[in-house]
Chains A and B, each alone.
Chain A
Amino acid sequence: MSQAAVLRLGLLGSPNSGKTTLFNALTGLRAKVGNYPGVTVERREGETQVDGRSVVVIDLPGTYSLTPISPDEAMVTQVIEGRVEGVEPPDGLVVTVDACTLDRSLLLVAQALRLDKPCCLVVTMVDELRARGGHLDLHRLSDALGIPVVGVIGHRGLGLEPLRQLLGQPEAWSRPPILPPEEPAERAGWVASVLETVLHERPGRSRTTDAVDRIVLHPLAGTLLFATVMVLFFQLIFAWAQPAMDLIDGAVATSVGWLHATLPPGLLTDLLADGVLAGVGAVIIFLPQIVLLFTLLYLLDDLGYMARAAFVVDRVMGRVGLEGRAFVSLLSSYACAVPGIMATRTIPSPRKRLVTILVSPLMTCSARLPVYALLIATFVPATSVWGPLGLQGLVLLGLYLLGATTALLAAAVLNRTLRAGGDIPFTLELPPYRVPPLRLVVSQVWGSASAFVRRAGTIILAVSIVLWFLLSFPRSDLPPGLSPDEASRYSLEHSAAGTLGRFVEPAIAPLGFDWKIGVGLVASLAAREVIVATLAQVYAVGEEDAVSLRQAIRGDPVFDPPTVAALLVFFVFALQCMSTLAVMRRETNSWRWPAFAFTYMLILAYATSFATHRIVAALL
């Protein structure tokens, strides 16, 4: 047998057809995840060996048809026809259909057969079909379509061997003698005639799914369950990821300290420790949240629950022009916008996805909490408003609500005004409940986490190093006799960031901010909570000493009530987070949208802070 060039096969199938399970069963964890050039459509390819021949399997985006109405679907036809630069077209197509929805799936098969490519058909869930009393004759199906047909039970690996045998030689696959009709209505007739000869018994409805849905979709029980699951999501990234994040934080701090202690003191050591290593820490600190969020998300999605959750909440999200699937993103953004924005991948409509991405950073993420905590604990009296309800808690709640309401309002406005990204109608398939193979969940989570590190992580690292330079350069000769805290303050004051803080002072003066807050705002681009550490440095108090920082800012006349209120409001709105910008860049595949988000949120922050400053000043 001649060792031909690498064979390429495209996996084509609708969402929920078992395509991803099959892809994982064939390629395992060796899959490469990336984007198609110039677009945000996910590209997944994996290699496998068949009879000593290398076969590259391309997991094409799930599609219901080859008449594309979304960028994902358009990419399917473009890849098949070899119209994507740098992507070799497949030599053959492996079409996957769920045996239980064969009636619908054959509409796609009809279109695939009309392409000038060798095709074979993989029928998944044949066990489920049988369990539901259906009877399908795969031999007759092969005769009726004129192409090879294999039945598989993907998660148990049954039928995979015959399939592998088949995959090795697409040249030898039989081709249909007559092509199915092109026109949709005629195609329906063709499907009916094929079904008549192959489907001897239609499957009944899934009893388990019906029974579970009676509870899961019950007006009251279903809503309660939805609320519980969403609280779980929130808890997971807000609280349960914390121990792992603290661990990473501690490990990075220890390593930074170790580097300083081991290497000779100097510029290079500072760069390595405070720039590079701290930057790496800034990337991996997100992994606990990403891994936890995506484990739950993929698990519930593969199980069939996420579609139900979207169904339950769609009406609410529809009010502001979004859709059910956007809810998880917005909720996750309460913990952190980075995993929240990554979760928008489940939204098929390009415009709804873009709007969700653009408003996610308005949700009050956990990085704002240290800033709110510092300012509220220092300046808001701990008086009781009503019983156990204190003024401090009320202010915090107000800030959370302000962020959420603004996010929904912004969604409504952007949805009406943005013309970018086409909209597609909301449709949603509710698959039967199925227990996903653990391997599938693991490989999906792995794919998301590694894509984050490679794509967004590199940007975050680069910006961290740039910020380090801004905060440490130019170096100045320290006057003699300074304590370490004072020395640290002195070098910050004379750094580029210090100069920048003074430079922006006239611009932020109307908000009541001075250059010290200005430096804090520049530094907090790394992450919002960094302003706390920077203020500690500016006031020459130790970072670990929360009490002296509070005393220091309380003693500074700049922090009068109008300014404190303005600063709080500024942090509600401003997009002070390079990681969010980096992940937006990755998810929209352009700097245009992160720039847009940064600008509109900055304008919003400036305007509302200014108004707040004026109003509070007038009231006092």
Chain B
Amino acid sequence: MKTVFNFDKDNNAGPAGLSIRASEPLTALKPGQRARIEAVELEGPAGTRLRDLGFLPGTEVRLIRRAPLGDPAIYELRGAQICLRRTEARAIHVVPLPS
């Protein structure tokens, strides 16, 4: 778990528009759970590919299911279903959304 300070007006909480929210890796989501992407902390080709697929800050993402052996997992975002391995998904930080 990692704490992200977010200066984001439309997100209520805290005084002076300062909200303190818990961000967690994408891999921590449960099947069916939705979240909003905070940051993609991955450089190089892997990071480029994730951004190209639409894993960008502010994007809403949902874990659909994991493979029979636990990895990889399918995520839904921007109208598409994308399968990622744990290695890459770990670098995507999200804030879970209320269901």
Contacts and interface: CB of A to CB of B under 8 A. Distances in A.
Interface of A: 64-65, 67, 69, 100-104, 107-108, 184-185, 188, 192, 202-203, 205, 213, 217, 219-220, 222-223, 307, 310-312, 314-316, 318, 422, 424-431
A262 B43 CA distance: 70
A104 B74 contact: no
Nearest to B74: A430
B74 to A, nearest CB: 6
A69 B51 contact: no
Given A64-B52, A107-B54, A424-B45, A429 B68 contact: no
Given A67-B52, A69-B45, A202-B79, 14 more contacts: A64-B53, A65-B48, A188-B57, A222-B68, A307-B83, A312-B67, A314-B71, A318-B85, A422-B45, A426-B84, A426-B88, A427-B53, A428-B82, A429-B80
Interface of B: 45-46, 48-54, 56-59, 65, 67-72, 74, 76-85, 87-88
B84 A427 contact: yes
A185 B56 contact: yes
Nearest to A349: B45
A102 B79 contact: yes
Contacts of B82: 427-430
Nearest to A132: B79
Given A69-B45, A425-B85, A427-B49, A314 B72 contact: yes
B68 A425 contact: no
A312 B65 CA distance: 11
Contacts of B74: 217, 311, 430
Contact of B78 (A103, A307, A315, A430): A103
A426 B59 CA distance: 21
B67 A107 contact: no
B56 A429 contact: no
Given A69-B48, A184-B56, A426 B68 contact: no
A104 B54 contact: yes
Given A65-B52, A104-B53, A311-B67, A429 B83 contact: yes
A64 B21 CA distance: 32
Contacts of B81: 429-431
A101 B79 contact: yes
Given A314-B72, A427-B88, A429-B83, A184 B49 contact: no
Contacts of B68: 219-220, 222-223, 312
Contacts of A65: 48, 51-52
Contacts of A104: 53-54, 77-80
Contact of B79 (A103, A185, A311, A422): A103
B91 to A, nearest CB: 10
Q: Which 10 A-B pairs have the closest CB atoms?
A: A65-B52, A103-B78, A104-B78, A315-B69, A69-B45, A428-B83, A425-B46, A64-B52, A101-B79, A430-B81
A65 B45 CA distance: 12
Contacts of A108: 52
B56 to A, nearest CB: 4
A6 B48 CA distance: 36
11 contacts: A64-B52, A65-B48, A69-B48, A101-B78, A101-B80, A107-B54, A108-B52, A311-B67, A311-B74, A429-B81, A430-B82
